[in-house]
Amino acid sequence: MLEVSGLAKAFTIHAQGVHLEVLDGVDLAVRAGECVVLDAPSGSGKSTLLRALYGNYRSDRGRVLVRHRDAMVDVAAAPPRLLLELRRETIGYVSQFLRVIPRVPTLDIVAEPLARRGASPSEARERAAELLSALALPERLWLLAPSTFSGGEQQRVNIARALIAAHPMLLLDEPTASLDAENAGRVLALLDERRRDGTAMVGIFHDPEARRRIATRLFPLPGRNLAA
């Protein structure tokens, strides 16, 4: 599903005259049904790597090949329209924060990615309800906007939104960080079910128990002691 070769990414802080080499020569291959957990200390570039895989950061060198519609597409060189298509159909991303339009009900927020892929509104909302139930978000909250929810409630909405479109590849940036043990367990169970169904995953999990439950293997990144 994913083949990264020679990936490099640096940042230049012009105001301070600082050049930071965050990633240099990263090689990584991920097959369907694998969950590869990035294994490195904080500041080593793990989140930078995920953002480069998603196309939020353009790499300085190297390739990020993702299997899309039975072809390998280079995310690092994809034009904007193709990148949006990749995100709609192939690559899902779970960040640590929920970023959505204010005042939109939770049920519609979760249903929207599936509706964009052609599902009817009723089908998308039904699937959204199933995921919110599986994540134990109370039904009384479904018609409310999540802006006033707790951090853990917002993150469960975030995860349901990422899972509903059933992307064949998921990028996971600390998806359980704001959750208590019980709700983290629910999330890990859903993710592992997806993995066993063939979803390829690359993730950041600092919690040792979460890593033990979800990782099929660890991928070390060299420690550079950078906050990137």
Q: Provide the pLDDT for residue 49.
A: 95
Q: Which two tokens stand for residue 142?
A: 């479904």
CA–CA dist 148, 157 (Å, integer): 12
CA–CA dist 30, 120 (Å, integer): 32
Q: Provide the pLDDT for residue 85.
A: 95
Report pLDDT digits (tens) over 17-38.
677 788 999 999 999 999 999 9
User: Which segments of 99-207 does DSSP mark as H helices, in order?
Assistant: 106-116, 121-134, 151-163, 181-196
Report pLDDT digits (tens) over 123-178.
999 999 999 999 999 999 999 999 889 989 999 999 999 999 999 999 999 999 88
Query: What residue ranges define each of the domains in the chain, with the CATH number in brackets?
Result: 30-60+89-219 (3.40.50.300)
Report pLDDT digits (tens) over 187-198.
999 999 999 999
Sign of CA dihedral 228, 91, 190, 99: positive
